[in-house]
Each structure stands twice: as C-alpha cells, then as structure tokens.
Structure 1
Amino acid sequence: MDEILAIACAIGWGTADILLNAQRSSFAIETSGDSPVTSADLAANHYILNNLQATFGLQEFAYLSEETFAAQPASDRLGKPWVWIIDPLDGTKDFINRTGEYAVHIALTHQGRPVLAIVACPELDKLYYATRNGGAFVETRHQSPKPLHVSTQSQPETLTLVASRSHRDQRFAKLLERFPCKGQKQMGSVGCKIAAIAEQSADLYLSLSGNSAPKDWDFAAPELILTEAGGKFTHFDGSPLQYNREEVSQWGGILASNGKCHEELCAIAENLLKAIHV
C-alpha cells in the first residue's frame, strides 16, 4: 500500500500542476449549466487515468471517473473488488470563478469502501492523503507530511459548520437556518470542506440531495481523509456510505463531523427535516 500511495501522491501533485497552469493561463468551458465541464477537467482526467492505468492495468483494477462515467459500461467496474474513484476537478464552478476552492480527488476502494485517498488543493499548495488504519496527513511541496487530527469541540452550538455555496435548495437552506451551530461558512469543493475539518478550521459538513445528489467521486477520497483524522462521515441515519454500486448518486442526507457528537448531530438533522415543509 505504501508503494501505491507514493504513486497516487505523485499523480495528485501532477494533476495540481495541470489545474494551476490552466488557472494561470487559460481554459475553455466545454459544457455549461449546473454541472459545467472545462478543458482543465478533461486534461486532468486524462492525466490521472493514463498514469493509473499505465501503472496498475485493467485486469485487477477498475476505474470510475466523473468525466468518463457516462460512456463507461457498468460491467467494467461492477463486481470488481478494487476500484479507483476519481474526480479530476471537484468544484468546477469555483475553478471557473477563480475562488481557489477546488480540489483533486483520487480514492482507491476495496469492496465498496475507501482504503486509500488523495485530496489535492492546488491553490493552497497542499496535498492530503490517508490509508485505512494508517492515519491522515497533509504535505506541501516544501514541507514534510504532518499528521491530521480533528478538533475536540463536543457541543453542537460550538461547532463551525461548512456547506456548499452553490448546491442548495429551499429545503437545505431551512435545515441550515435551524441547525444549532452558531458558526457557519460557505466553501466550494467537498475536498476543501473536509480538509478544513481535518485541519480544525471547521467541525461539521452537511449535504442534502434535492433534484440531484452528490456522486461517489465527490465523497470517496474526502471520507477517508476525515475518518483517518478522527472524524466520522455517514448518512443521517448513521449508516456508512457504499461506493461503486450501479447507482453512483449518494441520495439523502450526509453528515461529516469531527466525530465528538456525531450521533447527536445526525439525530438533530433527521428531526429538523421532519419539521421542514416546502
């Protein structure tokens, strides 16, 4: 696993360079709308898949990537125990708007659960990585890796909640309004949000599907980073997320936290949703 991690980290840094170069020079918007795609998404995706497949092949490992999922036969990945799940550019809207809040997600899953994760935040010059039962770490190009540990805040009202600025409907807005956390801030990219929790600048992340839902590639890598840093990442009912199913959308409510009062927060979220009518 150490050898696989070293390769994945190198690919993460290489992808960060591609995205930074695109931000500094130019990129084209290939598809607009609620789920935009840029030439940078496609270039990053090509780089990641080419490097992973050249190293690990197509026999033992399968690949699930946001940019190639629609054209990929499900049989290529379903039933395969080892699957790489990739979001080459999480936070494309933020990339287009140049907020700096975008990330690269690369996760290796085994039997539907993440065992290795890379989240690169190019504008922060940081790469986060984790292996199952091996801890979570953050490194820069010029500093040695440092272990990550979530905060020790344990009262809901003292937690800082981080949520998406773009993926929200009226129901989710009402949930955020009624949630007991006094500190709330908006941020792009799930990877950036979870990195904030792992580095103790936030404590809690909420996601609630509406007309659409986050996908496997949004969560697989960030989840392992958070849980190996001591946090928890579940559905509102406390059940774990499963990856590489035929349905790649993660419907319902998702709660990621520092883990200190996770079950209480999940219960609060479920009870609040019962009282919200839109």
Structure 2
Amino acid sequence: MSGIEINKNLKIAIEASLKAGEVIMQVYDTAFDVEIKDDKSPLTEADKKANDIINTFLKPTPIPIISEENKQTDYSTRKQWETCWIVDPVDGTKEFIKRNGEFTVNIALINNGKPVLGVIYVPATKTLYFADVLKQQAHKAQLNSHNTTIEEALEQATALQTKEVTNNVEVVGSRSHMSQETLDFVEALKTSGKEVKIVSKGSSLKFCLVAEGNADIYPRFAPTMEWDTAAGQAICNAVGVEVISEDTKQPLLYNKENLLNPWFVVSKH
C-alpha cells in the first residue's frame, strides 16, 4: 500500500497526532488529576500536553486553529477564515479517565465550512485513521509505535471499506450518552422491519465504525462540539458516508458562529 500519496497538510496532521498520542499515553500510565472545566466537562494533563504538541506542528502552517483547549477566536475574525484546523487533543476524556482505551486525537482541516482532511489516532491501540475527502480516500493503519514514520504508516495502511446495506442494521450507540431520542430512533428502525443490533463505542471511534464497515448508522441526538466531529466527518465523507444535520437535512458545517453542532445522523445515503 506504499503507493499512497498524501498531501503536506495531511502529513503534518498525522505527525502531530502520533506525537500527541505518545504524551497522552505517558499521562495515562500515571496517577493523573482531573479538573472540571466551566462547562462541567473533565480536563486532564493529557488534554493540555497533547494540545501543546499539536499546536507546535500546526502553528508553522499559515492556517488558523480552532482547538477545544485553545482560547476561541472571536467569530468576527473567524468568519473571514476560508481554511482552518479543528482539533480535539483528547476526544473522549471521560473514556480516558475510565481507562477503557476508547479515546482519540482528532485533527481536521476545514475549507469553506467543509472537512477536507481528517486524522483520528487511537493512542491506546496505536490505530491510525486518515482521509483526504477530495481524493475520496480513507485509510487505516495499525502501528507498532507512536514513533512510526509517515512512510511506515503509509506502508501499513489499508483502504477503508463500508458495509453492504442489508436488513440487519448495526446502530452505533454512545458509551456515555444514550438519549431517549436515540432509543426512539432504534425503535423506529425495528418497526420498519429491520433487525437492529446496538454497537457501543466511545469518542470519534463511532464515525470510524461506520466508515470501516463495522456499523451502518450512527444517530447522535445529544450535544457535540465541532472538534468532536470534524475529523470523523472527513473520514466518513471520503468513503461516501454522509453526516447529516437533523435541523437542515444537509451535511454538518464547521467554523460556525456557535461551535455547538446540531443533532445529526451518520449513514450511507
């Protein structure tokens, strides 16, 4: 698979995610403290250290950054950005604190509101997902080390393949947030004659399940922020999976005035 050509920004994002993964696992293997942020979400040293490392990779690019752990730039400035990075240094901090391995590093490149590149790295298993939406290419690589070179990662990468549509529907549910609306959605599928199975996962891995053919649909009827979804949407979009807003019935858009996402459904249309 070493014939994969990747663009410069995707390469930078992959390198940043691997280095962030390394420091995250260093914290994971210690007795770490948990702070509670103003929005009641948890924060650990891993979030801060990973954010610092990712910033050192992305800041030399001329592209501005929206990161969960950076101070947010005012929308009057942001709305003039044609291109920006959207970063979650540790997506699934709750999973990190529970030490169940289901947390990720998310880095996406946005152009005119749409994800064009995406990287999701799973530090606990050293699993790397990366995608170029314009090329319609998404890959997964199982790495041996956080210090793997880009060349080695590309050699180990295989193309993602979505699932064939059948009457057996695998629905992705959240480890930490199963809302009543999601349960109603599942019931509606059953009523339409589908055999439904729930697959649980934490963090942005839910997008990966659909993109790599291990699930059919991921309904999210609970709050998420842009940095929770941008990289996952890029990986899904690259293999023909849509991430559709329940409000607009259009794909989710990014660098909005309010960085909170509407509810959405991830599936092949």
Query: TM-score when scaled to structure 1?
Result: 0.82
Indicate the residue corresponding to 2:161 in structure 1. 149
For 1:77-116, list aligned pairs within 5 A: 77-116=78-117
Say if 1:167 and 1:34 are closer, same or farther in 2 by CA, change over 3 A. farther
Indicate the residue corresponding to 2:219 in structure 1. 206
Displacement of 1:234: 1.0
- Over the matched positions of the two proteins, sequence identity in percent amounts to 30
Counterpart of 1:221 in 2: which secondary structure? helix
- Whether the 8 Å CA contact 1:89–1:104 is kept in 2: the answer is yes
Counterpart of 2:261 in 1: which secondary structure? coil
Counterpart of 1:176 in 2: which secondary structure? helix
Indicate the residue corresponding to 1:227 in structure 2. 237
Provide Cα deviations, 1:41-76, integer angstroms capped at 9, x if missing partner. Answer: 1111111112210x214xxx221111124x533344
Indicate the residue corresponding to 2:47 in structure 1. 41
Q: Does 1:4 align with 2:4?
A: no
Instruction: Name the structure where helix makes up a greater proportion of residues.
Output: 1
Q: Distance in 1 between matches of 2:56 and 2:183?
A: 40
- Whether the 8 Å CA contact 1:64–1:77 is kept in 2: the answer is no
Displacement of 1:34: 4.7
Displacement of 1:23: 1.1
- Whether the 8 Å CA contact 1:234–1:255 is kept in 2: the answer is yes
Provide Cα deviations, 1:111-153, integer angstroms capped at 9, x if missing partner. Answer: 111111111111221111111222001113246111111111x
Q: Distance in 2 between matches of 1:232 and 1:94?
A: 26
Structure 2: runs of 5 or more not aligned = 1-5, 145-154
Q: Distance in 2 between matches of 1:4 and 1:68?
A: 20
- Whether the 8 Å CA contact 1:164–1:187 is kept in 2: the answer is yes
Indicate the residue corresponding to 2:3 in structure 1. none
Indicate the residue corresponding to 2:179 in structure 1. 169
Displacement of 1:93: 0.4
Indicate the residue corresponding to 2:65 in structure 1. 63
Provide Cα deviations, 1:100-120, integer angstroms capped at 9, x if missing partner. Answer: 111111001011111111111
Q: Distance in 2 between matches of 1:179 and 1:18?
A: 42
Amino acid at match of 1:151: K
Amino acid at match of 1:205: Y
Q: Distance in 2 between matches of 1:256 and 1:165?
A: 17
Q: Distance in 2 between matches of 1:46 and 1:108?
A: 18
The size of the alignment, in residue pairs, is: 247
- Whether the 8 Å CA contact 1:62–1:76 is kept in 2: the answer is no
Q: Distance in 2 between matches of 1:19 and 1:235?
A: 32
Amino acid at match of 1:185: V
CA RMSD of aligned residues (A): 1.9
Q: Does 1:195 align with 2:208?
A: yes
Structure 1: runs of 5 or more not aligned = 263-278
Q: Distance in 2 between matches of 1:171 and 1:195?
A: 22
4+ runs deviating over 3 angstroms: 168-179
- Whether the 8 Å CA contact 2:242–2:251 is kept in 1: the answer is no
Indicate the residue corresponding to 2:27 in structure 1. 22
